[in-house]
Amino acid sequence: MFISRIKLTNWKNFTNIDVPLSERTFIVGPNAVGKSNLLDVFRFMRDIARDGGGLQEAVKQRGGLSKMRCLYARAPKTDVEIELHVSEYEATEPTWQYALGLTQKGYGAVGETRAILRFEKVWKNGTLILERPGKIDDKDEELKQYTHLEQPTSNAEFRDLADFFKSIDYQHIIPQLIRDPLSFQKTGNREDFYGRDLFEKMSRMPKRTKDSQLKKIENALKYAVPNLKNLTLEHDTLGVPHLQAIFEHWRPHGAKQNEEQFSDGTLRLIGLFFSMLNGLQPLLLEEPELSLNTGIIRRLAEIIAIMQKRKTGKRQVILSTHSYDLLNDQGISAEEILVLKPAKEGTIVENANTMNDVKTLLDTGLTPAEVIIPITESPVINEILTSIKE
């Protein structure tokens, strides 16, 4: 399954958006326009559905509903609304539709306010199977602080959808966390999105699966790090796992190195490849081009497309970027691109396929980088350059 459409009202940068998504989606726009905030919608749904999560915890992690509400909303109590469509395959009607509307109760510090359910709706194959609040909710206002999505006793009819949201995976590998995980404390019930526990996750895998995946990663890395071979996971005397590889050079047998000697780009690629190989759930990637050399970035869209394909199904990948090199690929279609542009009333989001001028230029053979990057550049960049020269 994959998320085929997203509708938002008053979510962070966005007053109102309604756009389709593809199995590979590129979120493109300048800095501070809301690319991370758009990705966070999917993380928010995951945080509601996941074990140890729930609506109130997910809202609390984001500083309360007042921090999630769009700054351009006209009234301070304007509701936040989210609707996601989930389909089995591209170009098919959604199997599931989930809609959530939230308002706020109380004022002051985060701990003194609560997110209150204004509505929760679920459709299966176009038929409405859940609509809240109902009579029970109206009798007990406390129930409106919880979604049925997070309650196994209440979501039996749409458990598959709840499990799907729960499985959404976000990865933003930070090489420093991989090299020295003990220097960074992980608190509460927050999960590891940044690679701190990457090697621990590898070590917990069955040996056959782990060895197979490391071999696939090694084969993929050859194109980026041609001197690397024999990628393995070894444990030191304290039982701490470390990645180890041999780098060939003028010595007959090369030199063994571990993650401390790996470049930032190598570690980010390893994390990316590992994430792509594990699971069929939607994968969220934030600026995956960071720390990578230009040659790899130019092939990154192709690499992702190849690694998406599995015998058991195709994995959805949604990524944010403003990299010219990544988008300079004719294999990226207009349907796969969401263009974010700042406006007076918040950020506008358009699917490139609906932008006639853009689609026409792409159809002539130009790449998304040549067509879209110029229209997403900050309008004040020339003013900044002028002020620096002065």
What DSSP letter does each residue of 201-218 carry, written as one string? HHHTS-HHHHHHHHHHHH
- Above pLDDT 90, what percent of the chain? 47
User: What are the boundaries of each domain within the chain?
Assistant: 2-23+38-167+330-389
Band of pLDDT at residue 190, cut at 50, 70 and 90: low
In this prediction, residue 386 carries a pLDDT of: 54
In this prediction, residue 253 carries a pLDDT of: 60
Q: Which residue has the higher pLDDT, 313 or 294?
A: 294
What is the per-residue pLDDT across 133-182, written as a single tens digit (0 to 9) for each?
999 999 998 999 999 999 999 999 999 999 999 999 988 888 887 777 66
What's this model's pTM, rounded to 2 decimal places? 0.88
Band of pLDDT at residue 230, cut at 50, 70 and 90: confident
How many whole angstroms separate alpha carbon 167 and alpha carbon 97? 17
How many whole angstroms separate alpha carbon 245 and alpha carbon 69? 47
In this prediction, residue 10 carries a pLDDT of: 94
How many whole angstroms separate alpha carbon 243 and alpha carbon 175? 13
Of the candidates 190, 57, 48, the one whose C-alpha atom is nearest the C-alpha of residue 120 is 48
Q: Which residue has the higher pLDDT, 43 or 240?
A: 43
What is the per-residue pLDDT across 321-346, written as a single tens digit (0 to 9) for each?
989 999 999 999 999 999 999 888 88
Mean pLDDT is lowest, of 13-17, 137-141, 381-385, for 381-385
Mean pLDDT is lowest, of 170-179, 197-206, 212-221, for 170-179
Distances (CA, A) of 116 to 61, 72, 147: 16, 21, 9
Asked if pLDDT for residue 84 goes beyond 60, the answer is: yes
How many whole angstroms separate alpha carbon 204 and alpha carbon 271? 16
